[in-house]
Chain A
């Protein structure tokens, strides 16, 4: 499942190389990034809602985490919808269509708690990578802090889900951006 999603998104660390911080695009470029953020947060909300509503999470502790994490993603999405508006952009409230093209078949095939947790872990990893990949690309550098205040929270989610699957929670000393959604992709 991981490879399926990993193949889709099109963002990678090679797409974020710049030789100085601060994107040149100004508020419009920043709004494109925040639209991307809200779009991937909306994907996470769909994934958790579908699994919760279908009763796939059967372990009470996992259900509690899923409800908590969904709530976080709703908060994150609201933050970036509002930020996009503040930047003069059109808020993007739908799930990212390119990510959903890859997620939906997996979502439709979920049949137990393990597969549901695995998908949630995939999505959390993609989100964490997406936030991290934007470092140095914002015109407004204060967004570096805002983005990673969310990216760090997503990384915590991923660690907890990995624990539930009994796979390594902190697999490497440095987080990568291998699975990031490139800014503007799908929005």
Chain B
């Protein structure tokens, strides 16, 4: 845990926590929209929402005094529009798929800035899970393997704190 009090790491952890809370909120909106009804899809999205809550809690513990209980505002608003605009289950699952890929990309971006081993290890324990969420969602929408399985994860879709600042 040494080093997790550095302002840089604490700020990144708080940012990631706000992203996770926005993801959990997006899944809640997805559930309440009634657009996802297939049992497999309902089960998956419920489980993933719970994972994002778990991630937020763990990140909050590392963020310490910088922890937040508020979803990332700009991100939550953007996600809400996407969920609202989804016309049916398939479109809604595509929204979730995009969120998960963005989350995985965001953790890869964060790994380039984090310093403390505890923070690096936590981010690295979450990234693969977001990637696996994406695989499940991709299968539910029959996405082509070429798109689902990149040879390397990238930072191309990362959500960045300068554009989506964490709540203060």
Contacts and interface: CB of A to CB of B under 8 A. Distances in A.
Interface stretch (A86-94, A107-115, A173-181): A173-181
A159 B151 CA distance: 15
B132 A21 contact: no
Contact of B153 (A18, A148, A159): A148
A176 B125 contact: yes
Contacts of A149: 108, 152-154
A56 B151 CA distance: 24
A76 B107 CA distance: 20
Contacts, number: 143
Given A65-B145, A152-B108, A163-B135, A21 B48 contact: no
Nearest to B130: A152
Interface residue tally on B, bucketed by range: 35 or more
Interface string B112-130: 1011110011111111110
Interface in A142-159: 142, 144-145, 148-159
Does more than half of chain B's interface fall in helix, strand or loop, or is it mixed? helix
B120 A156 contact: no
Contacts of B3: 19-21
25 contacts: A18-B117, A19-B3, A65-B145, A65-B149, A68-B146, A76-B151, A131-B124, A135-B111, A135-B121, A136-B116, A144-B114, A151-B128, A153-B153, A155-B127, A155-B131, A156-B131, A156-B135, A159-B135, A169-B136, A170-B132, A173-B50, A173-B55, A174-B54, A174-B58, A175-B128
Nearest to B53: A173
Contact of B128 (A64, A128, A136, A163): A128
Interface in B69-113: 104, 107-108, 111-112
A58 interface: no
Interface in A115-171: 128, 131-132, 135-136, 141-142, 144-145, 148-160, 163, 169-170
A69 interface: yes
Contacts of A159: 131-132, 135-136
Interface residue tally on A, bucketed by range: 35 or more
Given A19-B117, A20-B116, A132-B125, A169 B111 contact: no
A18 B2 CA distance: 9
A85 interface: no
A95 B152 CA distance: 21
A156 B108 contact: no
B155 to A, nearest CB: 8
Contacts of B116: 20-21, 136
Given A151-B127, A156-B132, A172-B129, 8 more contacts: A75-B152, A135-B121, A136-B121, A153-B149, A155-B128, A158-B132, A169-B135, A173-B50
Interface of B: 2-3, 47-48, 50-51, 54-55, 58, 104, 107-108, 111-112, 114-117, 120-129, 131-136, 139, 145-146, 148-155
B128 A152 contact: yes
A144 B120 contact: yes
Contacts of B111: 135, 144-145, 148
A156 B153 CA distance: 10
A158 B124 CA distance: 16
B149 A152 contact: no
Contacts of B155: 145
